[in-house]
């Protein structure tokens, strides 16, 4: 018999759907002691929350997250709302003794992130942040190959996250649909939204970053604000680039933008080591490109590993070798690992403290760009 774990989810947008799907699927594919129960969904509009609850099978709705957090029948609070709401909800949830799962980036900035870390650690509640790309099987395989030492000493880590959806200067900022363009709701632009993913993966695969030198740009300086109706200054970064040094001596090169015409979600990373290189591309997420210089010269070349075999990470839980899975499965894997962590007492990562380290890199990027100088990354 599985043990029920009552989920109260806040926000029913893009991530609300991805998480709901993961809770619904996880026990079908993974053998686990715990079983998420879709107990309540919370959103400000009762009608919309009810429609979502009916579609996804939530038992009840709330319109005020504070009420949800206080409910005795909720074990876990899942935060799927804009970045400026994460801290208040997470701290209240931890105070009420709930497990807390929070979408990325953890917070608006490092100081806020630290308060969240302290809250969950003081309350000793299980916690995790949804940096889901770690659980794309090809990315998990990259981690395995690096940990086995196949790449040897690492020289370069290169990552990009490119989109093109904000080029139109007539696009307003703020409000329900466009909170990502409003610095008060988002905290930053592509730095917290896109680079955050690249940095989480990089710290996981390649260890801490010591120092960075960044530049950011806001190409469209003013946009109409959906909440005030007035044309207002744009406070987010539209593009961010940085170079840096990892603690292991390798060099970092990172870029993200929403102004790369033709690119929708082109997250790529490449790692060059002494013996081997690895390349991954979100648009082709089930493949890992691998080059090993130690191969015999005649057949040496980039191999494209189709990460679908039963002995590849997570893939034994899905279909037969050769059949691919997709984006949504990374969330199923993250829930599976979280629930397994409850069983084994070995928490799934990234927890709040781990995600706080990413937040400190985000702070360093914005500081470096603002002050136009190298910045040492604080250690969390
Ligand atoms: N892990 C990932 O790959 C990934 C992808 C997209 C978004 N995110 C993160 O997920 C979070 C949500 O992003 P999204 O794309 O789902 O946004 P979204 O705009 O699609 O949905 C946000 C939801 O929050 C609700 N909401 C806003 N304020 C609220 C409040 N005070 N109380 C209750 N509900 C409220 C909105 O009604 C909406 O349902 C953000 O932190 C974002 O950075 C992560």
pLDDT band, residue 1 (cuts 50/70/90): confident
Stretch 207-235: mean pLDDT, rounded? Answer: 98
pLDDT band, residue 378 (cuts 50/70/90): very high
Q: Is it the case that residue 279 has pLDDT exceeding 90?
A: yes
Q: Domain spanning 135-376: which superfamily?
A: Dihydrodipicolinate Reductase; domain 2 (3.30.360.10)
Stretch 326-338: mean pLDDT, rounded? Answer: 98
Alpha helices in 41-125, H assignment, sequence order: 46-56, 65-70, 86-95, 110-123
For residue 124, report the distance from its CA to the centre of ligand 1, in Å. Answer: 26
CA distance 345 to 253: 36
CA distance 164 to 146: 32
pLDDT band, residue 4 (cuts 50/70/90): very high
For residue 216, report the distance from its CA to the centre of ligand 1, in Å. Answer: 24
Q: Is it the case that residue 277 has pLDDT exceeding 90?
A: yes
Q: Give pLDDT, residue 132.
A: 98
Residue range 156-206, pLDDT digits in tens:
999 999 999 999 999 999 999 999 999 999 999 999 999 999 999 999 999
Stretch 330-351: mean pLDDT, rounded? Answer: 98
Task: Report the share of the chain in percent with pLDDT over 90.
Answer: 99
For residue 330, report the distance from its CA to the centre of ligand 1, in Å. Answer: 18
Q: Give pLDDT, residue 380.
A: 87
For residue 377, report the distance from its CA to the centre of ligand 1, in Å. Answer: 28
Which of 41, 80, 132, 328, when mutated, tests ligand 1's pocket best, judged by the most ligand atoms within 8 Å of its CB?
80
Which of 46, 103, 326, 328, when mutated, tests ligand 1's pocket best, judged by the most ligand atoms within 8 Å of its CB?
103
Q: Is 132 in the pocket of ligand 1 (CB under 6 A)?
A: yes
Stretch 8-30: mean pLDDT, rounded? Answer: 98
Stretch 34-56: mean pLDDT, rounded? Answer: 98
> Which atom of ligand 1 is found nearest the CA of 130?
1
Q: Are the beta carbons of 246 and 361 closer than 8 angstroms? A: no
Where in the chain are all domains bearing CATH 3.30.360.10? 135-376
Stretch 113-137: mean pLDDT, rounded? Answer: 98
For residue 248, report the distance from its CA to the centre of ligand 1, in Å. Answer: 35
Residue range 241-259, pLDDT digits in tens:
999 999 999 999 999 999 9
Calculate the average pLDDT of the chain: 98
Fold held by 3-132: Rossmann fold (3.40.50)
Q: Is it the case that residue 118 has pLDDT exceeding 90?
A: yes
């Amino acid at each position: 018999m599985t043990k029920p774990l009552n989920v109260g989810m806040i926000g029913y947008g893009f991530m609300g759907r991805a998480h709901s799907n993961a809770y619904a699927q996880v026990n079908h594919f993974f053998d686990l002691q715990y079983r998420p129960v879709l107990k309540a969904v919370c959103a400000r509009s009762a009608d919309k929350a009810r429609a979502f609850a009916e579609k996804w099978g939530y038992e009840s709705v709330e319109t005020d997250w504070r009420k949800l957090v206080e409910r005795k029948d909720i074990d876990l609070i899942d935060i799927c709302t804009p970045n400026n709401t994460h801290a208040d909800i997470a701290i209240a949830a931890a105070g009420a003794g709930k497990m807390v799962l929070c979408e990325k980036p953890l917070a608006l900035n490092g100081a806020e992130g630290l308060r969240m870390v302290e809250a969950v650690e003081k309350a000793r509640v299980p916690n995790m942040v949804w940096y889901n790309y770690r659980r794309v099987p090809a990315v998990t395989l990259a981690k395995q190959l690096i940990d086995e030492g196949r790449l040897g000493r690492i020289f370069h880590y290169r990552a990009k996250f490119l989109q093109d959806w904000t080029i139109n200067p007539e696009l307003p900022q703020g409000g329900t649909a466009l909170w990502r363009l409003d610095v008060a709701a988002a905290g930053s632009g592509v730095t917290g939204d896109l680079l955050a993913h690249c940095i989480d993966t990089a710290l996981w695969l390649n260890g801490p970053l010591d120092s960075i030198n960044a530049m950011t740009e806001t190409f469209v300086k003013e946009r109409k604000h959906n909440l005030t109706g007035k044309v207002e200054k744009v406070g987010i970064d539209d593009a961010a680039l940085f170079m840096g040094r990892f603690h292991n001596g390798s060099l970092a090169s990172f870029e993200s933008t929403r102004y790369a015409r033709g690119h929708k979600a082109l997250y790529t990373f490449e790692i060059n080591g002494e013996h081997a290189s690895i390349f991954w591309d979100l648009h082709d997420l089930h493949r890992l490109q691998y080059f090993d210089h130690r191969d015999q010269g005649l057949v040496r070349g980039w191999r494209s590993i189709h990460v679908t075999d039963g002995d590849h990470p997570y893939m034994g839980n899905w279909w037969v070798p050769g059949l691919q899975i997709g984006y949504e499965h990374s969330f199923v894997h993250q829930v599976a690992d979280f629930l397994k962590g409850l069983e084994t007492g070995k928490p799934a990562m990234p927890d709040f403290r781990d995600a706080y380290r990413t937040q400190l890199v985000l702070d360093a990027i914005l500081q470096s760009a603002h002050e136009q100088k190298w910045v040492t990354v604080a250690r969390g």
